[in-house]
Amino acid sequence: MEQVITSGQNPRVKAIVALQQKAAERRRTGLFVVEGVREIGHVLRAGYKVETLFVCHEILDESAIAGWRFDGERIAVSPHVYAKMAYREGTEGVLAVVRACNMNLEDLPEVGAPIYVVMESVEKPGNLGAVLRTADAAHADALIVCDPLTDLYNPNLIRSSIGARFTVPTVACTSEECIRFLKRRGIRILTAQLQDSSLYYDVDMRRGTALVMGTESTGLTDQWRRAADAHIRIPMLGSLDSLNVSVSASILLFEAVRQRLMEK
């Protein structure tokens, strides 16, 4: 018989809410929560271990998950319990508790001419999620988050990435570790900055390339400016001097894609 939870005071429900709301709880348990058919599908295809699947039969279209295979437990919840557990509305009545699987830099495979997106000290999970969507679309080889100010299993990040968090290899590390890694692998470091820079479309991105971006408020730190092989900028023709970091990442990534397609 399938276990059914109908009380919002159930300890399992309270545990889900804690995982949704507290990064410290995610770190302590090594677990995180994913909502929605599309997002959980990406999790399963990426090889993550789903510990528990919570379903609300009154909301869920069962045919949408008919092909899923996992070894964890499955628990049914009532609509009002699901509403308490879910971080956002409209997630189709299915929610998974997943075991975290953290990558290191050395886990990234060596490929001929990789494209890496590097973000320093990004603090808004929505920006990270948007960059992940672009990285997936451009088939970037990894997103490297240096000195992160948000954890990589933040529910806002997962939601805004619409599952790209699990399709793009994502690593958290320090800037020093990342610079050493890129230099060791012969990856060209291009830092996005206004000062002492060339227009982005005049710089060769056909080789192994790391596109490095800082925060919208302060930009990149000096250690990245010094480590760069070239400084690049997006021309700003209006009154403002900055773009949202996810927009900047999109422009630079697809310039790298354009150059590589033109070479073929």
**131-156 confidence digits (pLDDT tens):** 999 999 999 999 999 998 889 999 99
Closest to 179 in 3D by CA, of 243, 222, 135: 222
Q: Are 232 and 255 in contact (CB under 8 A)?
A: no
Question: Which backbone phi and psi does 262 adopt, to 5 degrees?
Answer: -65, -25
Beta bridge partners of 145: 119, 172
Tokens matching residue 177: 């570790």
Give residue limits of the domains in the chain.
3-99, 105-263
| Res 132: pLDDT | 97
The percentage of the chain sitting over the pLDDT mark of 70, rounded to a whole number, equals 99
- At the topology level, CATH places domain 105-263 in Alpha/beta knot (3.40.1280)
| Res 1: pLDDT | 62
Tokens matching residue 170: 């994502």
Beta bridge partners of 104: none
What gap in Å lies between CA 41 and CA 45, rounded to an integer?
6
Closest to 97 in 3D by CA, of 48, 135, 63: 48
Q: Are 210 and 191 in contact (CB under 8 A)?
A: no
Tokens matching residue 38: 């599309």
What gap in Å lies between CA 103 and CA 144, rounded to an integer?
10
- Predicted confidence pLDDT, tens digits, the chain (264 residues): 678 999 999 999 999 999 999 999 999 999 999 999 999 999 999 999 999 999 999 999 999 999 898 888 999 999 999 999 998 777 799 999 999 999 999 999 998 899 999 999 888 899 999 999 999 999 999 999 999 888 999 999 999 999 999 999 999 999 999 999 999 999 999 999 888 899 999 999 999 999 999 877 677 889 999 999 999 999 988 887 778 899 999 999 999 999 999 987
Three-class DSSP labels, 83-118: HHHCCCCCCCCEEEEEECCCECHHHCCCCCCCEEEE
What gap in Å lies between CA 122 and CA 215, rounded to an integer?
6
**CATH class given for the domain over 3-99:** alpha beta
Q: How far is CA 250 from the centre of its chain?
A: 14
Burial 7-42 (b: 16+ CB within 10 A, else e): ebebebbebbbbbbeeeeebeeeebbbbbbbebbbb
Q: How far is CA 20 from the centre of its chain?
A: 16
Compute CA distances 250 → 68, 75, 169, 247, 258, whole Å. 32, 40, 17, 5, 12
Location of structure tokens 């092909």? 67
> Cβ of 139: how many Cβ atoms within 10 Å?
12
Q: What is the mean pLDDT of the chain?
A: 93
| Res 50: pLDDT | 96
Angle, helix 245-263 to helix 125-137, in steps of 10 degrees: 10
